Amino acid sequence: MKKNRLGSSDLLVGEIGLGCMSIGTEEQQGVHLIHEALDRGINLLDTADLYHHGRNEEIVGAAIRGRRQDVILATKVGNRRIPGQEGWGWDPSKPYILSAVKESLRRLGTDYIDLYQLHGGTIDDPMDETIEAFEQLKSEGVIRYYGISSIRPHVIREYAQRSNIVSVMNQYSLLDRRAEEEVLPLLQERGISVIARGPVASGVLVDGGGEKAAKGYLDYEEAELLDVRKQLKTFAGADRSMGQTAIRYSLSHPAVAAVIPGASSLGQLEHNTAAADIPPLTGQERPYNKSAGPIVMMRSTADTVNVYSL
């Protein structure tokens, strides 16, 4: 599998990673799925302390035992569970980050994290304090690099200017192209990589995803999603599936170092990793070239329907 450098770091990540949130809570099944992923060339595993109240980190930790050298391990911090209260609170403070990382290390069964990510963020956060926490962990060798997971352009802009983040995890697909307007150009200019999540739009953009379309996606109506699916299927042709074409789309922007589709079965995993063997989309098909190629209906951030070329 092709590997790309993550920002200015020395982390080389396979262009297709695994979003581990989808592996479930049964350890044997989850470990088997992760082992299959590693055997197929995936090395970027993304989890979070939030997923299944830490259980996801535990399963990932069990899976990488004895294979730590094969893995670029990414997890997240910032969501805090308060005993006796429902749900999660948001806490990007330095004391919490310094304490939460210890629990993640314990669950993951490792003494370092390759990529530690702030799991969200608002413009009102104490960013200097948050950055100071990550820098301290980096200097101590607890983490190798840090990044953020965010879809908020103003938050991303601040961290890009004020910190040493090497990556931004951002939702990016044929059906969610908001990042193309500001985020991707900004990060490309600054040499910060994008890890694209949601490349198949919660299953809407895969073969057999018609039922998903019926449930809607973002603010698309079912008729719009079915139209996109029809055109994408025609464009994909016989050599690649709809989902693989959607994955290649997200990878086609030069700011994107990796995509992290989820997989809850071996079949889904095999389908996703097979996209690595498909030639990249040509220049005429890339997302930032809207002058040629099959027409697909997409939304802009203004929530109006626009016609762009794939």
Residues paired with 298 in a beta bridge? 306
Query: What is the pLDDT at residue 283?
Result: 53
Determine the distance from the C-alpha atom of residue 105 to the mean position of all C-alpha atoms in its chain, rounded to a whole number.
Answer: 21
Listed as own residue / partner, the contacts of 98-104 with beta carbons closer than 8 Å and 24 or more positions apart are: 98/133, 98/136, 98/137, 100/49, 101/77, 101/137, 101/142, 101/143, 103/49, 103/54, 104/49, 104/57, 104/75, 104/77
What is the DSSP-derived secondary structure letter of residue 68? Answer: G
Euclidean distance between CA atoms 131 and 108, whole angstroms? 23
Reduced to 3 states (helix: H, G, I; strand: E, B; else coil), residue 40 is: coil
SS3 115: strand
pLDDT tens track of the chain, all 310 residues?
999 999 999 999 999 999 999 999 999 999 999 999 999 999 999 999 988 888 999 999 999 999 999 999 999 999 888 777 777 888 999 999 999 999 999 999 999 999 999 999 999 999 999 999 999 999 999 999 999 999 999 999 999 999 999 999 999 999 999 999 999 999 999 999 999 999 999 999 998 877 888 889 999 999 999 999 999 988 888 889 999 999 999 999 999 999 999 999 999 999 999 999 988 876 545 444 433 334 344 444 333 333 333 4
Tell me, yes or no, if 51 is annotated catalytic: yes
pLDDT at residue 292, as a whole number: 34
Sorted by sequence, the CB contacts under 8 Å of residue 90 that are 6+ apart come out as 78, 79, 80, 120, 122
Give tens-digit pLDDT for 187-207.
999 999 999 999 999 999 998
What DSSP character marks residue 158?
H
Q: Find residue 75's DSSP bridge partners.
A: 116
Q: What single string gives the DSSP state of each residue in 254-291?
A: TTEEEE--B-SSHHHHHHHHHGGGSPPPPGGGSTT--S
Q: What is the pLDDT of residue 276?
A: 94
Q: What is the pLDDT of residue 68?
A: 96
**Which residues, in sequence order, are bridge partners of residue 146?**
116
Whole-angstrom Cα distance, residue 296 to residue 245? 13
Alpha helices in the chain (DSSP H): 27-39, 55-64, 94-108, 127-139, 153-162, 183-190, 210-215, 222-236, 242-251, 266-274
Can you give the pLDDT at residue 43?
Answer: 98
In this predicted structure, what is the pLDDT of residue 281? 77
Catalytic residue among 51, 96, 146, 249: 51
Instruction: Give me the percent of the chain exceeding a pLDDT of 90.
Output: 77
pLDDT of residue 307: 31
